[in-house]
Structure 1
Amino acid sequence: MKERQRHVGHGSWYLLVGLPTAMVSMLILPLLVVGTIISGLTALPVLMRALRHWSEWHRRRAAALLGIDIRPRPTELPKGLGAQWRHLLDDTENRRDLRWVLRHVVTGLPAGLAALACVATAVFSVAAALLWQLFPQEEPLRLLGAVPVDGWGTALALGVVQGAGAGSLTWWAMPHLARMHARSTVAALEPSAEDRLAKRVGELADSRAGVLDAHGAELSRIERDLHDGTQARLVAIAMRLGLAREELPDDSGALAKLLQEAHEGAEEAMTELREVIRTMYPPILADRGLQGAVSAVAAGAGIPAEVELGELGRLSAAVEAAAYFIVAETLTNAAKHSGATRVTVRLTRQDAALLVEVTDDGLGGVDETLGTGVIGIRRRAAALDGTVLVSSPAGGPTAVTVELPCAS
């Protein structure tokens, strides 16, 4: 019983408060228009922020009535008028706020009036039954719509019947009506399943980009440590072994053979370490950057290569490494399989993507199923959500176009 009373009280109060707020909400859209006309472009973002606070207050009230937890939506504006307008146009929450205003007016007014009628009728019935004598005889109190009250018996009987009817309706209907309105409010201001999925995909993309950046930075650090530390020590060991071999007398026998094997093993280890470093994170990227590294790999491609570099801006380590390896693998494929006499490498930045284009004048007819190296290029691009387009008709030319997302 107490739980029901609490639901009835909270539901009735929720709807009664919603009635004047729905009346106020009727003025919001005209205020947005008038405020923008009077104050210019600077007013609308501020007014929309005020609307966000207004809708969030209703959203919190509805969630509290339903007993659910909600995540607060951002209410702050970015700095700068341009950033504010971009936020205003791109943020789907703003459109959701505008739709909620219309819904709140359409549903809040009748729901609030229904609550007011039920509660007011119940209170009026009790009060009027006790004060029926104050009404003039020519205009007596009428209860149940049309029955005149002419005595205490009629007043108490009709007052009890009318008050009980209104109270019963309030008891039964108000909690349901309030919860229906609250669910409508939450649904109007909550992201849809598609919006939540898109947001989650964006969060995962940002998370993966951060992981790839961290991975690239870690590979760069390991490369520097191996290059400056381990490789330098191997070089020193190899030099000392070489000096030791020179100092040994000619009749050293087994000792000389052991030193020779150790010396050759150290040199082989250095060669293998250089290959590991080169495939892990090219040192030339750290030394010259992407533009210098691409120019260097094109110069050693084995066929004449022309490099065209646009303004690339700042790129993450993962994107730079992927672009470098893609260019290197494509040039290697062209030199080995295409029979080309010339190749062109073009790197440009288009909005939030790095475009890598490698074109040769070879025989064409690239077949990815034969292990031409394109599969490896596709895998490198796919790791960054990139795309690869290969155009290689029989007779040539062959064009490999790779687009790598690189939004900052």
Structure 2
Amino acid sequence: MAMLLFLAVLLTALTATVVGGVGLVALPHLLVWLRRWAEWHRGRAAALLGVTVAARETRLPRGIRAQWRNIAGDREIMRDLRWAVLHVATGLPAGLAALVILGLVVNAVVQTPVWWLFPADEPLRFLVYVPVTNWTNAILLGLAQAVIGAALVGWTFPPMARGLARHCLRALEPTHEERLAERVGELAESRAEVLDAHAAELRRIERDLHDGAQARLVSIAMLLGVARETLPDQDGPLARLLRQAHEGAEEAMSELRGVIRTMYPPILADRGLPGAVAAVAARVPVPVEVTLGDLGRVPAAVEAAAYFIVAEAITNVSRHSGAARAAVRLARRDGTLVVEVTDDGRGGIDESRGTGVAGIRKRAAALDGTVLVDSPAGGPTTLTVELPCAS
């Protein structure tokens, strides 16, 4: 009965929310009380079945807006409502059955001493149909009904309680689809954390190489150059060795700079993604128009992937498309970084011929991103990459 009353109040609050707005204040509190009530039953069910369940949040944040944001983002509210309906549907019949069985014992104990108060034409009946006419019948029949009722209690109450407990836990546990969605969310979050940590480690290695190994190579190259200039005999064997060492040091510096740029471009750390994209666009012979939206804070891994995607796409445009102009657009939409590269070239991209799109797809796939290529024969070509960056 209490659950039916609560559901009636909850339905009233929902109606008030829709019609008059009164439930805007009442409904969050009712849902929290429903959660607490469900958790109380859940704890009892878990104790009865000997299992362990994790406690759920039962506190309500302050402020109506915060409360409704909490409701909108709480996936477990539907479980609570599902449990309430199931609790009424199964608990009410089970409770009535338990009252009937328990009533057999209570009636036998209470009515046996007062059997003689019943009128002769409507005598007390035990075991439903057997009338009581004397003390012997009253004692024997009352004892028989009490024993039968006690036996039914012991036989039906424990399995009934365990069945209700299992239904309670099942109703409040996430479904297979909900578990899968939660697991996917956890994996996506952990992958984002791993990628961020990887990007941070790449930045650290890049700084160490730039400030350590590269600086030493520059110093060695300068010393070798000074030694070459101060050597009296510029054609002797020592001069040739110094020249080879000097040239080798400069080649090593050039290779090291290339490695650093492929690991984590220093320009990203210095100028951010907008500046890095503008620099890439300025280096190619094809005029490139760069349009940047409000990107906000972009995770390092996504930032690096977007930079390399733009660099590869612009390089492909300048080498293979025959375009007269190109455009790069970066925007952020609903937790997704959208990178769009267009050109007015000949189009007809065939990815099976190694057009560079495969590398872009791999970079996007590493972040669970998507790549869409629209390149009809004769152009124009549009490459759209969406990279999740909500983390």
Short-chain TM bin: over 0.9
Residue 332 of structure 2 is matched in structure 1 by 349
After superposition, the C-alpha distances for 1:159-216 in whole angstroms (9 at most, x for unaligned) are: 2221222122212111121122111111111110000100110111111111111111
After superposition, the C-alpha distances for 1:295-334 in whole angstroms (9 at most, x for unaligned) are: 1100111211111111111111111111110110001001
**Percent sequence identity over matched residues?**
62
After superposition, where does 1:241-320 map in structure 2 within 5 Å? 241-250=224-233, 253-320=236-303
Decide whether the 8 Å contact of 1:361 with 1:397 is kept in 2. Answer: yes
Pair 1:324 & 2:329 matched: no
The alignment partner of 1:41 has SS state of: helix
Which of these residues, 1, 5, 10, is aligned with residue 29 of structure 1?
Answer: 10
- The CA deviation at 1:121 is 1.6
The alignment partner of 1:92 has SS state of: coil
Q: CA RMSD in A?
A: 2.2
Higher RCO (C-alpha 8 Å, min separation 6): 1
Pair 1:51 & 2:31 matched: no
- Distance, in Å, in 1 between the alignment partners of 2:61 and 2:245 is 65
- The CA deviation at 1:137 is 5.7
Decide whether the 8 Å contact of 1:216 with 1:318 is kept in 2. Answer: yes
Which of these residues, 57, 64, 70, is aligned with residue 81 of structure 1?
Answer: 64
- Distance, in Å, in 2 between the alignment partners of 1:305 and 1:276 is 26
- Distance, in Å, in 2 between the alignment partners of 1:32 and 1:188 is 23
Residue 65 of structure 1 is matched in structure 2 by 48
Residue 230 of structure 1 is matched in structure 2 by 213
Which of these residues, 207, 211, 220, is aligned with residue 194 of structure 2?
Answer: 211
Structure 2's unaligned 5+ residue stretches are none
Decide whether the 8 Å contact of 1:339 with 1:363 is kept in 2. Answer: yes
- Distance, in Å, in 1 between the alignment partners of 2:196 and 2:62 is 28
Inter-CA distance 80–377: structure 2 relative to 1 (3 Å threshold): farther
Residue 117 of structure 2 is matched in structure 1 by 135
Inter-CA distance 40–150: structure 2 relative to 1 (3 Å threshold): closer
Q: TM-score of the superposition, structure 1-length normalised?
A: 0.89
Structure 1's unaligned 5+ residue stretches are 1-19
Decide whether the 8 Å contact of 1:342 with 1:361 is kept in 2. Answer: yes
* Corresponding pairs, count: 388
After superposition, the C-alpha distances for 1:64-99 in whole angstroms (9 at most, x for unaligned) are: 212222222222334543342233234231122122
Decide whether the 8 Å contact of 2:324 with 2:344 is kept in 1. Answer: yes
- The CA deviation at 1:40 is 4.4
Q: TM-score of the superposition, structure 2-length normalised?
A: 0.92
Query: 258-267 vs 361-370, which deviates more?
Result: 258-267
After superposition, where does 1:190-201 map in structure 2 within 5 Å? 190-201=173-184
Inter-CA distance 251–243: structure 2 relative to 1 (3 Å threshold): closer
